[in-house]
Amino acid sequence: MIQFHHVFMTYQHEFKALRDIDLNIERGEFVMITGPSGAGKSTLIRLISREILPTRGQIIIFEQNIAKLKPRQLPLYRRRIGVVFQDFRLLYDRTASENVALTLRILGHGGRTMTREVNQALGRVGLQKKKNQKPWHLSGGEMQRVVLARAIVHDPPLLLADEPTGNLDFATGWEMMQLLKQVTDTGTTVICTTHNLNFIQKMRKRTLFLDKGILRGERNRVHGA
């Protein structure tokens, strides 16, 4: 589903954030990306969401070279990706339901189908009882669950989570990890960055180790994946 061929990303002033990355991620995989701060984890995620383009190399996602997507093709491409941010990026004057519904509104959904889809997504993250609460009345873990519901409500084939546990304590972060794992049950591919090695050890999922922009190795890759 995702292939990187000799990908380099150099920011201005010649700073090499990623160097010669080769990568292959299959449909339905759960992949963790770890490494110290500045290793290039977010850059990798931003390349996949096509927020930025690589300086060199090729990225193939959903069988297309994403550098070649035309501006009019970008919204369609992004609809196939859900994103969970460390800093939530919720609308604080809207309820949990309204925040989740926003994804669907942007996609042109409405009416009863939308209400059902929103309820289902909030149910998947165990937050149906709090659907009418505004984010300020929710804990950090609950806010992050709203963010996850918002990211999966349209059933994207790919979910990107950039340090989703960065603002959570260990127990709450671990619950988030379990929910992310469940997202792969419906066939969605999940890519999750974390600098927390405790999560890496406990999850026992395929893990890519980045350091100074170089892919230093990986663990737990399932044969054939």
Q: What does the binding site for ligand ADP look like in residue numbers (CB under 6 A)?
A: 11-12, 15, 17, 35, 37-43
Taking the complex as a whole, the smallest distance from the CB of residue 193 to ligand ADP amounts, in Å, to 6
Q: Which one, 101 or 190, has the nearer CB to ligand ADP? A: 190
Q: Which one, 175 or 211, has the nearer CB to ligand ADP? A: 211
Q: Which one, 94 or 219, has the nearer CB to ligand ADP? A: 219
Taking the complex as a whole, the smallest distance from the CB of residue 11 to ligand ADP amounts, in Å, to 3
At 88, list the tokens.
Answer: 């939530």
Q: Which one, 41 or 205, has the nearer CB to ligand ADP? A: 41
Q: Are 181 and 161 in contact (CB under 8 A)?
A: no
Q: Return the sign of the alpha-carbon dihedral for residues 136, 138, 140, 145.
A: negative
Taking the complex as a whole, the smallest distance from the CB of residue 198 to ligand ADP amounts, in Å, to 17
Please identify which residue in the block is written with the tokens 């190399």. Answer: 57
Q: Which one, 37 or 178, has the nearer CB to ligand ADP? A: 37
String of DSSP letters for 138-191? S-HHHHHHHHHHHHHTT--SEEEEESTTTTS-HHHHHHHHHHHHHHGGGT-EEE
Amino acid at site 194: T
Taking the complex as a whole, the smallest distance from the CB of residue 19 to ligand ADP amounts, in Å, to 11
Taking the complex as a whole, the smallest distance from the CB of residue 33 to ligand ADP amounts, in Å, to 8
Q: Give the separation between CA 44 and CA 201, rounded to whole angstroms.
A: 21
